[in-house]
A and B are shown apart, each in its own frame.
Chain A
Amino acid sequence: MWQALRSELHPKGLEIVTVALDVDPEAPRQWIERAHPEHPSLLDSAHLVDELFGMVNVPNAVWIDEEGIIVRPAEPAAPSRPADEPRRSRELPPDTPEYLREVMAEARKIRLDSGAYTAALRDWVDNGAESRFALSPDEVIRRSGVRGSAEATAAAEFELGHYLWQHGRQELAPPHWREAHRLQPQNWTYKRQAWVLANPLQGPTDLYDSDWLTDTRKVGAENYYPPLEL
């Protein structure tokens, strides 16, 4: 997904680093093998970037300058698609499960202005600190999202659940992940990760209080990503 933009901007001094938030490494590994990325393609099974960079959904991205200073905090980010890329068909096979049909219908309402985002990124690569899209330190911190006791505890609960999952106590993880969801409902990576391990469609299960469709409808699919504030 990012390789084309990487080819364009790497000669101008930008590196792209993708971080897969996947407890199970096999799924991202297959995507990465197909994409042949030239950029680092990391696996972050414990969702460390949520804690360290304030990521709360995917795709989310952060800009870091040459000195290692964050100049834009986590926000929804996608590369604009090349004009010649074929559009994917909206026709679903007849045996598509009803839940998935509803997910697809809801997902089509999600908005992410990849064109404006990509233009801003190009501007920063060309103009560096002079770019109007490179934010002041105060603004970066202000926009980085709230972290009070609830959000910090959610991170601890998610990590504890992940640790138990990875150490042969998978049955002990869901209560901790449920607690993470309750404490930080705006964090979609904690929710979707837990849901998908219980149900590949991220649909309802006995383990969790909600599911993708229910929570997306609750906030409204058009608010799934906060509006880009470039």
Chain B
Amino acid sequence: MILTTQEIELTALAARTGWAIKPEGACRGEVCVPLPAGAVNHGSVNARALSDRLGMPIVRDAATGIECMGPAALGRALNSTEAAELVLPDLAKDGREFRLSSLRGQKVLLVAWASW
């Protein structure tokens, strides 16, 4: 996720990455990773602390100073079998926002394709 601040709001973190901050640490599905004391304050978590503990790399563009934090590097592309929430525009419905979780109760085949 693009870092606009060093203190990431927990709601923004959960929406973009699926990681939720709980008393036991940063959790995604069955996986929980403890965070250092003081990492969570007033509904935000410190990006550096999160990056250290979850192996989320932070890269920076030298010209603009914009930073981006990558996904957790915990060994496999999926850390949990719980499907992440995906919120994207539906081009078949004039770009209206679509939430993958709206399909709970049905089986889903999620297919990536491209025009290129």
**Which residues on A sit within 8 Å (CB–CB) of B98?**
17, 40, 42
**Which residues on A sit within 8 Å (CB–CB) of B83?**
53, 62, 64, 68-70
**Which residues on A sit within 8 Å (CB–CB) of B66?**
160, 163-164
Which of A74, A179, A193 has the most CB atoms of chain B within a 10 A radius of its CB? A74
A114 located at the interface, meaning its Cβ lies under 8 Å from any Cβ of chain B in the complex: no
**Which residues on B sit within 8 Å (CB–CB) of A204?**
none
Residue of A nearest to B97 (CB): A42
Residue of A nearest to B109 (CB): A16
Contact assessment for A42 and B90 in the assembled complex, using a CB-CB cutoff below 8 Å: yes
Which of B18, B63, B90, B107 has the most CB atoms of chain A within a 10 A radius of its CB? B107
* Cross-chain contact of B113 among A19, A74, A142, A152 (Cβ < 8 A): A19
Contact mask B23-59 → A, CB, 8 Å, 1/0?
A: 0000000000000000000000000000000011111
Contact assessment for A148 and B75 in the assembled complex, using a CB-CB cutoff below 8 Å: yes
A21 located at the interface, meaning its Cβ lies under 8 Å from any Cβ of chain B in the complex: yes
Contact assessment for A19 and B75 in the assembled complex, using a CB-CB cutoff below 8 Å: no
Residue of A nearest to B70 (CB): A156
Contact assessment for B72 and A16 in the assembled complex, using a CB-CB cutoff below 8 Å: no
* Cross-chain contact of B103 among A17, A69, A77, A153 (Cβ < 8 A): A17
**Interface of A toward B, CB cutoff 8 Å:** 1-2, 13-22, 25, 27-32, 37-44, 48-49, 51-55, 58-71, 73-74, 77, 121, 124-125, 128, 137, 140-142, 144-149, 151-157, 159-160, 163-164, 169, 172, 176, 179, 189, 192-193, 196, 202
